[in-house]
A and B are shown apart, each in its own frame.
Chain A
Amino acid sequence: MKVLIVDDSKTMRSIHRSVIGKIGSADIEEACDGQDALSKASAFQPDLILLDRNMPNMDGYTFLKIYRSKGNSTPIIMITSEACKTSIVEAIKAGVNDYVVKPFSPEKLSERIKRILEKQEAA
């Protein structure tokens, strides 16, 4: 499994890395904003992307729109502190596969990742 973690906080990237590590072995790449993620996603070809919404330079929502507009169908879980319905609906319309609101427990994120991976395997 190849996972791209996109977050401007090194702490959050480390937390995500730990959650993924407990699910199973994975090849992990990190990006610190949407712009960085676009170039890394292109080279890395991930099976799953964990995407923060609020980041400098290019935010997660802009990345999502650009990434999907290029025909990429890799599952994306958006992880954000924005819990308002408008933000969630906006992200789903733009092509996010799941949405996890911070603060979350590691178990919750783990469940969501597993669910996405199971769906992928079943497809």
Chain B
Amino acid sequence: MDPQFANPLIHATQKAFESLVQLEIAFDEPIVVASMPEEFDVSGIIGLSGGIIGLFAISFPTETAEKIVSTFAGSTIGISDREDFVDAVGELANIIMRSGISKFGCGDITISSPSVVLGNHHCIQTPSDNTIIMVPCHTSAGDFSIELSIRSVNSPSASACLTPVAAAAER
């Protein structure tokens, strides 16, 4: 799968950070990786079904997550403020995924309520035959990444989904 398939989420992440978090963000090129990254401490996860089956995750080191959600929420939120912290990380993941969803061109995609995983260097395990696309992200608050783990793209026009042209043109 072409890693550029993740372009709608890159665009959505950029929009979310520039408007709601008010942080400039830079991205490395999306890359296909063998497994989900294990260097992060906080992940907001959205399950995907329908047009795409898999999951979307946004993963941070703790300190970066604290800085970003505090800017997002407009008040200082640390990981110890568990309920507020989890709500903010989940909402950020939710906004990015919902914003990017229509740009995949894969028909109806149903998304789950966000889940948030906390734990130093945690591992999000997805089926071994999933394709995982990771996009390293850089902000003044720290580095983090967005990941798309895809089991299948269920669409009559699946080939169109895998063509990055439309999404890339939008950036």
Give chain B residues whose Cβ lies under 8 Å from the Cβ of A104.
19-20
A112, chain B: closest CB distance, angstroms: 14
Instruction: Output the nearest chain B residue to A7 by Cβ-Cβ distance.
Output: B91
> Given that A14-B73, A15-B74, A103-B16 are known contacts, is A81 also in contact with B99, CB under 8 Å in the complex?
yes
User: Which residues in B have their C-beta under 8 angstroms from that of A15?
Assistant: 20, 72-74
The interface bits of chain A over 80-114 (1 if a CB of B lies within 8 angstroms of the residue's CB, else 0) are 11111000000000000000011111001000000
The distance in angstroms between the C-alpha atoms of A115 and B1, with both chains bound, is: 46
B157 within 8 A of A: no
**A120 CB within 8 Å of chain B:** no
B83 to A, closest residue via Cβ: A10
| Interface of A (DSSP majority class) | loop
- Chain A 1-46 interface residues, beta-carbon cutoff 8 Å to B: 9-12, 14-15, 18
CB distance from B63 to the nearest CB of A (A): 19
Could you say which residues of chain A place their CB within 8 Å of the CB of B113? Answer: 56
Check if A102 sits within 8 Å of B20, measured CB to CB: yes
Given A10-B83, A11-B91, A12-B91: A83 in contact with B102 (beta carbons within 8 A): yes
**Which partner residue on chain B sits nearest A12 by CB separation?**
B91
Residue of A nearest to B102 (CB): A84
Instruction: Let me know if A103 and B73 touch, CB within 8 A.
Output: no
Q: Which of A14, A56, A83 contacts B75 (CB 8 A)?
A: A14
Q: Mark B14-38, 1 if CB is under 8 A from A, else 0.
A: 0110011010000000000000000
| B19 and A9 contact, CB distance less than 8 A | no
B88 at the interface (CB under 8 A from A): yes
Chain B residue with minimal CB distance to A14? B73
- Most A CB contacts (10 A, CB to CB) among B16, B19, B22 go to B19
B76 CB to nearest A CB, Å: 12
In the complex formed, the residue of B with least CB distance to A107 is B19
Determine if A10 and B87 form an interchain contact, defined as CB atoms under 8 angstroms apart.
yes
- 9 closest A-B pairs (Cβ-Cβ)? A81-B98, A103-B16, A11-B88, A9-B91, A105-B19, A103-B20, A103-B19, A11-B73, A10-B87
- Name 6 interchain pairs, CB-CB below 8 A, sorted by A: A9-B91, A81-B98, A83-B99, A103-B19, A103-B95, A105-B19
